Amino acid sequence: MYLPDNPMHHQDMIEQSLLYYASRADSSLQEKYQEPCVVFAGHPSLRSESEYDCEEAMSAFEGLQIKPIYLPIDIRLTINEVTNILREKKPQHVLIPQKIIKESGNIRPNLPNSLITLYECLDIVNISINSQFVRTVMTENLASNIVLVNLGKDSLIASLNGTLNIHNTKTSLTSAENQLNQQRYVCGEFNVSKYGCRIDEFEEDKRSSSYKISLISPKAMIYLNNENFKIITTDNQTSIKLTKILVEQLIVPYYEMYSK
């Protein structure tokens, strides 16, 4: 159950066992739970919005044996109550309508640790706050693949599976594809997963910057270094295909990158 904060008075009902506060809804609740009963539940929007459609929120859950009733709570506080809360919480920034100050007087001495900003109707107020959230841009390809699920009464949800990229403090969301296949190397671009399953043995000599690759199918041996490459195989067609792949995927991209 949601336990209301002050200035709502429910302590007397709790002491008289007319109201029970349940910190969690597990098997221990069965000892106190009896039917029929009235369950009070809260929602964060009740403190920030004038209206809240509880039926819309509960439409995602089917088979509820409960009759929902929306009872808006008057959360308006007096100036003294607001001042006491602000003095206790000590917020960094406080926005107050200019009209309130005119009617109640100066409250700056009561909030020495807060930066108070006064505003009029339709004023644009800029506040320097270290946000915990970062604005990002979603690519058109990722957005086009999002499938919305209608929960009823204008409530839509969707699952998102993407890759978060950060470059020069700017973020972007792209489709969650295999980044190994898109990574660009100095020696060129090649499909790692496609050719990796056919590699039987791979040796690297860092002293001479040379590589030895043994292929299962087709049966072949490739020697590669910074200057040239050598293919050893008994099949002439295999030699031609491997030579073409190495020329296209290694030499050409290397030349294009440095020619630009």
Residue the block writes with tokens 């406080």:
94
Q: pLDDT digit of tens for each residue in the chain (260 aa)?
A: 445 555 556 777 777 777 877 777 677 777 777 777 877 776 666 666 656 677 777 776 777 777 877 776 666 777 778 778 888 888 888 888 888 777 667 777 777 888 888 899 888 888 777 777 788 889 888 888 888 877 766 778 888 888 888 888 788 888 876 454 455 554 555 555 555 555 566 677 777 777 777 777 677 888 877 777 788 888 888 888 888 777 766 654 443 433 33
What CA–CA distance (Å, rounded) separates 31 from 78? 40
Alpha carbon 34 to chain centroid, angstroms: 40
The helix (run of H) or strand (run of E) holding residue 213 is: strand 210-215
Running DSSP on this structure, what letter comes out for residue 142? H
Q: What per-residue confidence (pLDDT) applies to 8?
A: 56
| Residue 9, token pair as written in the block | 């008075």
pLDDT at position 3 is: 53
Alpha helix (H) ranges present in 105-251?
140-144, 192-196, 236-246
* Size of the chain in residues: 260
Separation between Cα atoms, residue 174 and residue 56, nearest integer Å: 31
> What is residue 128's three-state secondary structure?
coil
Residues linked to residue 231 through DSSP beta bridges, in sequence order: 222
pTM score of the predicted model: 0.28
Angle ∠(147,149,150) on CA atoms, nearest 5 = 140
**Could you tell me the residue ranges of all domains in the chain?**
1-75, 79-119, 137-177, 182-259
So what's the pLDDT on residue 257?
39
Which CATH fold would you assign to the domain 182-259?
Answer: TATA-Binding Protein (3.30.310)
- Residue 242 CA to residue 32 CA, distance in Å, equals 75
For residue 242, what is the DSSP state?
A: H
